Amino acid sequence: MNDHDYTAILAAHGIRPTANRTLVARTLAAAGRPLSMSELEIQIGSVDKSNIFRTLTTFREHNLVHVIEDGGDGVRYELCHSSSEHNDDDTHAHFFCEVCRKTYCITSIEAPQPTLPQGYKLNSLNYLLKGICPSCNKKPSNATKLQKSS
């Protein structure tokens, strides 16, 4: 994707494109997995934490990012691939690795849509699986841990 594509994504979500917003969107898309604030800050380097935070807040208000509470060290953000700010059709599972502490998108598993009791309104859904990722599972010390816990 090029900057024009990111400008179109921002516009589809009702967000005025700026250099920082385009950079944050590009970084989230390129990561291929949800990132924490500190990971974003390290990967971007040229934008300070407060600007990244303001950008993520704007993205969140316009449904351009998913905020994943992974049970680890805080929240992670991923670019939402829904078609507009009004329709979030990009719901899928996430996997939190308890060894490397990274969160991964599992787009092949759709998040179940719960039926809520009358009077409840669903604003977001966080479908999180926890365990050991394939990369960490290949390490001999982690395979031993996995066998002991089974």
Question: How many structural domains comprise the chain?
Answer: 1
CATH number at residue 51: 1.10.10.10
Burial code of 20-47, b = ≥16 C-beta within 10 A, e = fewer? bbbbbbbbbeebebbbbeebbbeebeeb
Mean pLDDT, the chain, integer: 83
The predicted model scores a pTM of 0.72
Query: Over the stretch 18-77, which tens digit does the pLDDT of each residue have?
Result: 999 999 999 999 998 889 898 999 999 888 899 999 999 999 888 888 888 876 667 889
Domain encompassing residue 29: 3-149
Q: What is the pLDDT of residue 88?
A: 56
Q: In this structure, what token pair is assigned to residue 87?
A: 């329709």
Which pLDDT score, from 0 to 100, does residue 81 have? 66
The residue ranking higher by pLDDT, 3 or 60, is 60
pLDDT more than 70, % of the chain: 85
> Is the pLDDT higher at 134 or at 125?
134
Sequence-separated (6 or more) residues with CB below 8 Å from residue 110: 91, 92, 93
